[in-house]
Amino acid sequence: MLAVLGVAAAGAWLWRRRSARVVADEVAAPQPPAAPVVPRRPRAPVDPTPPVAPAARGWIAFDLVARRAGVNLLTATLDAQVTVRNDGERPAEDIRLDVRLLSASASQDDELGAIFAHPVAAPATAPFALAPGEERVVTVLVTLPRGAITVLTAGGRPMFVPVAAVNLRYVTGGIAGQTAGAFAVGLERDGAAKLAPFWLDGPGRMHDSVAVRPHALSLRS
């Protein structure tokens, strides 16, 4: 009987020790580390498409200076100088200059648009070329028949307001270019910001004190 009790006690002691080791192992065993969270790499920003720089080319510009103007029984006349220059980086070739004299009216913009839309068939001077930074002065004498004048009135008096149209067409680097503009022509008066018109109820004559003012319509391509 004592032997049986001894064996039973020894078995219980071994079972408790083994159970304690298993529990200890379960508690002390390191847990496998959680998989590291890999941050997502931010997507590289997409750069916008860079603007394409315009190709180097010639750019024609001009200045118009009125020297004399007036009206007689047959025609209205404008004596002027056009300074043509190349503001671009490449030569401009086959430059054709056209200068017309019109009469201010309700339909003047339509007339100007028609002039600027057509090629220069009869240039004021032989076609020429300009290197970058080069310029040329062209003297022009343009007329308008008296019968084509649109008569306006102010204070009961008949008057005429000339409009000069300047159209330049050219070629640069195989590209067709155009520069055009319109100008009102009138008489300069001391201390007056606006130009005076040409009165039609007086004797015909040419005036030296004349000037031009830019019109809103202009083109550059």
Is residue 2 domain-resident? Answer: no
For the stretch 129-171, pLDDT in tens is: 999 999 999 999 999 999 999 999 999 999 999 999 999 999 9
Q: How confident is the model at residue 217 (pLDDT cuts 50, 70, 90)?
A: confident
Is residue 51 domain-resident? Answer: no
Domain count, the chain: 1
| Residue 18 phi, psi dihedral angles, 5° rounding | -65, -40
- How many of the other CB atoms lie within 10 Å of CB of 58? 24
Is residue 5 domain-resident? Answer: no
For the stretch 32-84, pLDDT in tens is: 445 554 455 555 555 566 665 567 999 999 999 999 999 999 999 999 999 99
Is residue 205 domain-resident? Answer: yes
Is residue 52 domain-resident? Answer: no
Is residue 53 domain-resident? Answer: no
Q: Is residue 169 within 8 Å of 135, Cβ to Cβ?
A: no
Amino acid 44 reads A
Is residue 78 domain-resident? Answer: yes
For the stretch 160-194, pLDDT in tens is: 999 999 999 999 999 999 999 999 999 998 878 88
Of 70, 154, 152, residue with least CA distance to 104: 152
Is residue 213 domain-resident? Answer: yes
Domain that holds residue 129: 60-220
For the stretch 88-109, pLDDT in tens is: 999 999 999 999 999 999 999 9
Tell me whether residue 151 is exposed, middle or buried, using C-beta atoms within 10 angstroms of its C-beta: 0 to 12, 13 to 18, 19 or more: exposed
In this structure, the chain runs to a length of 221
What mean pLDDT, rounded, does the chain reach?
Answer: 83
3-state secondary structure labels for all residues of 173-203: CCEEEEEEEEEEEEECCCCCCCCECEECCCC
